[in-house]
Chain A
Amino acid sequence: MTDKNQKLANQMLMHMISDFTNNELAPVDMLIDKQGDYPEGLFELAVQTGLLGITLPQQYGGAGFDYAATAQALQIMAAGNASLAVTLEGHFKTIEQFMKYGNPELNDHYLPLATHQILAFSQTEPSGGSNPTGITTRAVKQGDNWVITGDKIMITNGGLASVYCVLAKTEDDQLAVFVVDQDMPGFSFGKREDFIGLKGTPVAEIVMDHIVVPDYHLLGQVGQGLEIGDQAHADARVLMGAVLAGIMTHELQIAVDYAKERKALTTPLYQLQVTQQKIADIAIAKQNTELLYQQAAKLKVQGQPYAEIAAMAKSYGSRSAVKVGDETLQILGGYGYSRDYPIEHLIRDARAMELAEGSIEKMNLEITKAEINK
Chain B
Amino acid sequence: MKIVVCIKQVPSTNDVKIDPQTHNLVRSADGVINPFDKNAIEAALKLRDQTNGEVILLSMGPESYRESLLEGLAMGADSAYLLSSRALGGADTLATGYPLSQAIQKIGDVELVLFGRQSVDADTGQVGPIVAEYLNVPQVTFAEAIDLTEDHHLIGKRRLDAAEQEVEVELPAAVTVRSEMNQPRYATPRQIQKSFEKPLTVWTEQDLDLDPERIGLAGSPTQVTQVYAPAAAKKRVTMLTGTPEHAVQELLQSL
Contacts and interface: CB of A to CB of B under 8 A. Distances in A.
B188 A63 contact: yes
B190 A61 contact: yes
A70 B195 CA distance: 18
Contacts of A20: 186
Given A5-B196, A9-B196, A12-B71, A63 B189 contact: yes
Contacts of B187: 12, 16
Interface string B143-177: 00000000000000000000000000000000000
B135 interface: no
A116 to B, nearest CB: 12
A58 B71 CA distance: 19
Contacts of A54: 189
B190 A12 contact: no
A13 interface: yes
B67 A8 contact: yes
B190 A58 contact: yes
B38 to A, nearest CB: 10
Interface in B35-75: 67, 70-71, 74
A50 interface: yes
Contacts of A19: 186
B101 interface: no
A54 B191 CA distance: 11
Contacts of A49: 185-186, 188
A9 B196 CA distance: 8
Interface in B189-203: 189-193, 195-196
A218 to B, nearest CB: 30
Interface in A7-56: 8-9, 12-13, 15-16, 19-20, 49-51, 53-54
A19 B188 CA distance: 12
Contacts, number: 55
Interface string A180-206: 000000000000000000000000000
A20 B183 CA distance: 13
A114 to B, nearest CB: 12
Interface size class of B (residues with CB under 8 A): 10 to 19
Interface string A46-79: 0001110110001001111100000000000000
A1 interface: yes
Contacts of B74: 12, 16
B189 A65 contact: yes
A1 B190 contact: no
Contact of A53 (B32, B67, B70, B190): B190
A183 B30 CA distance: 48
Contacts of B186: 16, 19-20, 49
Contacts of A51: 189
B190 A13 contact: no
A1 B70 contact: no
Contacts of A13: 189, 192
Nearest to B189: A63
A16 B186 CA distance: 7
B188 to A, nearest CB: 3
Contacts of A62: 189-190
B35 to A, nearest CB: 11
B67 A63 contact: no
A25 B67 CA distance: 25
21 contacts: A8-B196, A12-B187, A13-B189, A15-B32, A16-B187, A16-B188, A16-B192, A20-B186, A50-B188, A51-B189, A53-B189, A53-B190, A58-B190, A61-B190, A63-B188, A63-B189, A63-B190, A63-B192, A64-B190, A64-B193, A65-B193
Closest 5 CB pairs of A and B: A50-B188, A63-B189, A63-B190, A49-B186, A54-B189
